[in-house]
Structures are given as C-alpha cells and as structure tokens.
C-alpha cells in the first residue's frame, strides 16, 4: 500500500574495488603534490594493440571498465598520476601512507556527495517547474471534489481535512493506534475511478505499521474497528504531496481508498 551470472558479478565486484583503490591513490597523491596546470588528458600514441590471449582480453576489459567509471564529469582525473598509482600498486610501493589515503578518500566522498546532492536538488527544481501546470490542475480538481463531497450523505470530515464514509460496520471494539501494525484489504483509486493499487485484486491482504504509511492512512485507520469497511477521500497533502510518486501517483493527487480492517497486531 501507500508504501545470475555469478562469475561475471564477482569480476565486476573486483573491478570496482580496483577502481576505488586507484581513486584513493589519485586523489591523495594529487593533494599531496599539486602539479602545475597542464593538459591532463591521455597522451595520444600510435600504439597498435592486438588481443591474442585470455590475459589480453581481461586486461582490455579492465581498461574499458575503468574508462567507463572515469567518465563522470565531476571527477577530475590526472591520468599521469593514475598510471603512476597503478605502477606503484603493482610494484607494492606507495607514495602515501594508509592514513593519508583514508583521509583523502573521505574528503573525496564528501565532495562527490555534496556535488550529487546539489545536482539532485537542481533536477528536482527542474521537474517541479515542469510539472507546475499539472500540480495546479490536480489541486483545483481535488479541492473542487472535496468541497462538493463533504456535503454528500454519510461523509464526515476530520480537522485535518480527511474525508471518510462508513460502508460497513464491523463487530470489533478496538481501534488501532499509530504504532499498531494492521492487516487490511484495500483498493486505491484516482478521481477518475481508475484503480492504481488493490490488495483485493491480488487476493492478498496487506500488513504494515500505521506510522510508516501516508498521513491519511495513519489518521483514518485509527477511526476504524476490526471488521469495519470505510471509504477515505484523502487530500494530496495527506497523501503523496505535490511530488506524487514517480511512475505511480501523479503530483498533488487526491486519492480515494476503500479499506477493510481485518486485524490489529
């Protein structure tokens, strides 16, 4: 609800570890000995490479894999230092202590995380701007529906704006708390009546903690007793908000859920 090729895999795992080690050497060495500005791109040489043996193929595959991983524009790679790090690593020597490499890698990770965080924020802002017309449309449609629906027979409204209607009264006397785990059957629909999720259709009840679902569910199910069946009309701000859920719930969507409370655990 609101919420193998084993050998090849091992090879890729090894390559990723190798890449990590190379990045440690690259970053730490570059920090320790700043070089003068120069063209850091690989030197173009007229070298004819022939792949004749299995070892040749493995060597080439490693090179290809490294190149793909190093294409990240946020990584500023000094290829001379990278090659030196490879040679030192194969020779069993190092220009940096383990402590220096660890410190460098921690700084590198922090920098990359900060860059990617900013990129994610920018992408979210771009998507929000792109979706603004749809968000406004869905807000207006949802608000209009709720304004009319609150006067419909049997519909009740809570202080938060959640609307609900009792379809069937059960015989249970206990209601769940927000810390309870519940077992339910449910069907979720959009305003146009399209079903987007249903445990009933799957013929498999759902179980979940009430404090790990959308606000409308957390509040609404605490109004129920075992055996009750309610229909909830959940405003977007008590559901998935303006963002929605990519690929499943459009932004600022009002959701309608029919829920039967089967058990409180």
Catalytic positions? 186, 196-197, 214, 240, 257
Contact 94, 104 (CB under 8 A): no
Q: Which long-range contacts (CB under 8 A, 24 or more apart) does 139-142 make?
A: 139/236, 139/252, 141/191, 141/254, 142/191, 142/235, 142/236, 142/252, 142/253, 142/254
Instruction: Give Dmax over CA atoms of the chain in angstroms.
Output: 84
Contact indicator for 26, 82 with CB cutoff of 8 Å: yes
Which residues does 210 contact at the CB level (< 8 Å), separation at least 6?
Answer: 176, 177, 178, 179, 180, 181, 182, 217, 218, 221, 222
Residue appearing with tokens 């409204």: 157
For residues 260 and 199, what is the distance between their CA atoms, to the nearest angstrom? 11
Separation CA 238–CA 254 (nearest Å) = 9
Query: What gap in Å lies between CA 7 and CA 58, rounded to an integer?
Result: 13
Residues 167-199 as b/e (b if ≥16 CB within 10 A, e otherwise) read: eeeeeeeeebeeeeebbbbbbbbeeeeeeebbb
């Amino acid at each position: 609800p609101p919420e193998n090729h084993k050998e090849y895999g091992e090879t890729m795992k090894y390559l990723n570890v190798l890449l990590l080690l190379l990045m440690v050497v690259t970053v730490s060495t570059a920090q320790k000995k700043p070089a003068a500005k120069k063209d850091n791109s690989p030197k173009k040489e007229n070298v004819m490479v022939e792949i004749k043996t299995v070892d040749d193929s493995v060597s080439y595959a490693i090179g290809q894999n490294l190149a793909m991983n190093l294409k990240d524009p946020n990584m500023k790679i000094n290829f001379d230092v990278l090659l030196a790090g490879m040679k030192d690593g194969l020779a069993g020597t190092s220009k940096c202590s383990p402590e220096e490499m660890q410190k460098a890698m921690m700084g590198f990770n922090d920098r990359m995380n900060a860059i990617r965080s900013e990129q994610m924020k920018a992408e979210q802002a771009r998507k929000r701007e792109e979706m603004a017309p749809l968000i406004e449309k869905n807000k207006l449609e949802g608000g209009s529906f709720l304004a009319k629906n609150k006067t419909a027979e049997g519909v009740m409204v809570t202080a938060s704006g959640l609307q609900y209607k009792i379809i069937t009264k059960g015989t249970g006397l206990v209601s769940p708390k927000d810390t309870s785990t519940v077992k339910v059957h449910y069907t979720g629909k959009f305003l146009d009546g399209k079903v987007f999720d249903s445990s009933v259709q799957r013929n498999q009840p759902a179980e979940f903690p009430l404090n790990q679902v959308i606000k409308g569910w957390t509040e609404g199910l605490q109004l129920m007793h075992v055996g009750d069946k309610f229909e909830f009309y959940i405003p977007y701000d008590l559901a998935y908000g303006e963002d929605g859920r990519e690929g499943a719930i459009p932004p600022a969507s009002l959701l309608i859920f029919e829920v039967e409370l089967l058990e409180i655990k």
